[in-house]
Amino acid sequence: MTQIQELAVEPRAHKGKGPSYQARQKGLVPAIVYGGTDAPETIAVDAHLLGRQIEKGDFLTTLLLLNGGGKKTRVIPRQVQLDPVSDRPVHVDFMRLAEGASLRIAIPVHFKGQGESPGLKKGGVLNVVRHEIEMICPADRIPREILVDISALDIAEVMHISAVTLPEGAKPVIRGRDFTVCSIVASTTVREEQKAAAAAAAAALAAPVVEAAEGAEGAAAPAAGAAPAAGAAAAAPGKDAKPAAPAKK
């Protein structure tokens, strides 16, 4: 069962921008609790305590027990509004969770096996298609992450959701389609090396053909200055040829 963390809150009687501003001036963050059979109620949370919860990470997938007004309410944060300048929380939405309830929630995707992946060893790059996957899961068993093993993934290979081991009780919202979670793609360096190797292979195949053609041309005509073949008749001198001088006695 998911561990529930307790968070102290206090009721907030008035709504609107004015009361919300006054609450922030006191170091509180206005919030609302909705869902279930009860009517929505406005509350305020200590800004320091809320900031510590958010800094832990996975705030939107963490079950909380709101303690205030003489009662405790099990909720899950659904939305946090941040100040665009200070990046501090200025409003929070909490949804009530009854016993045995299920909910639709985005679960972060993490990866393992990078050191064993053949594709990454060859210089490939991990292409993450989905950093989060929307799941339907029991409120008592909200997974912290979806862990994807890529230790056997090579370049140009793809990891689909059907090959991922999902947490117990969790089902993807997308049904009837085996969607892609990640893949290994060739980096620019690897692609250049593959092009160079292909060009070298093509040149190696073309080289014997060129050498054979050059050999055929050389056989057609004897080299300059080569002696005539045995038994070949000497060429007759032309009309401009001079007779050989007589030998001196």
Q: How many domains does the chain have?
A: 2
Q: What is the structure's pLDDT at 201?
A: 77
Confirm whether 20 is domain-assigned.
yes
Q: What is the structure's pLDDT at 135?
A: 95
Confirm whether 12 is domain-assigned.
yes
Confirm whether 225 is domain-assigned.
no
- Compute how many other C-beta atoms are within 10 angstroms of the C-beta atom of residue 235: 7
**Do residue 77 and residue 19 come from a single domain?**
yes
Q: What is the structure's pLDDT at 159?
A: 97
**Do residue 108 and residue 157 come from a single domain?**
yes
- pLDDT, tens digit (0-9, with 9 covering 90-100), for 72-84: 999 999 999 999 9
Q: What is the structure's pLDDT at 108?
A: 94
- pLDDT, tens digit (0-9, with 9 covering 90-100), for 2-58: 568 899 999 987 777 888 888 899 999 999 999 988 899 999 999 999 999 998 888
Say whether pTM exceeds 0.85: no
Q: What is the structure's pLDDT at 70?
A: 85
DSSP at 117: -
Q: What is the structure's pLDDT at 234?
A: 44
Confirm whether 205 is domain-assigned.
no
Task: Enter the tokens of residue 158.
Answer: 């793809």
Nearest alpha carbon to residue 36 among 3, 74, 62, 9: 74
* Residue ranges making up the domain that contains 32: 5-98
Q: Give, for 169, the enclosing helix (H) or strand (E).
A: none
Stretch 139-157: mean pLDDT, rounded? 93
Confirm whether 215 is domain-assigned.
no
Q: Residue 63: pLDDT above 60?
A: yes
**Do residue 81 and residue 114 come from a single domain?**
no
- pLDDT, tens digit (0-9, with 9 covering 90-100), for 97-141: 988 889 999 999 999 999 999 999 999 999 999 999 999 999 888
With 0-12 CB in 10 A as exposed, 13-18 as middle and 19+ as buried, what is 153? buried
C-alpha to C-alpha distances, 126 to 48, 122, 144, 148, 186, nearest whole angstrom: 38, 12, 22, 12, 9
Q: Long-range contacts made by residues 16-20, C-beta under 8 angstroms, separation at least 24? A: 20/91
- pLDDT, tens digit (0-9, with 9 covering 90-100), for 164-217: 999 989 999 999 999 999 999 998 766 666 677 777 777 778 766 555 555 555
- Compute how many other C-beta atoms are within 10 angstroms of the C-beta atom of residue 64: 20
Confirm whether 72 is domain-assigned.
yes
Stretch 87-102: mean pLDDT, rounded? 91
- List all residues 6 or more positions away from 75 whose beta carbon is below 8 Å from its beta carbon: 33, 35, 63, 64, 65, 66, 94, 95, 96, 97
Q: What is the structure's pLDDT at 217?
A: 54
Nearest alpha carbon to residue 151 among 161, 139, 143, 159: 159
Question: Cβ(63)–Cβ(97) under 8 Å?
Answer: yes
- The domain spanning residue 177 has which CATH number? 2.170.120.20
Question: Cβ(89)–Cβ(80) under 8 Å?
Answer: yes
Q: Residue 157: pLDDT above 90?
A: yes
- pLDDT, tens digit (0-9, with 9 covering 90-100), for 207-244: 665 555 555 555 554 544 444 444 444 444 444 545 55
DSSP at 166: P
d(CA 153, CA 118): 6
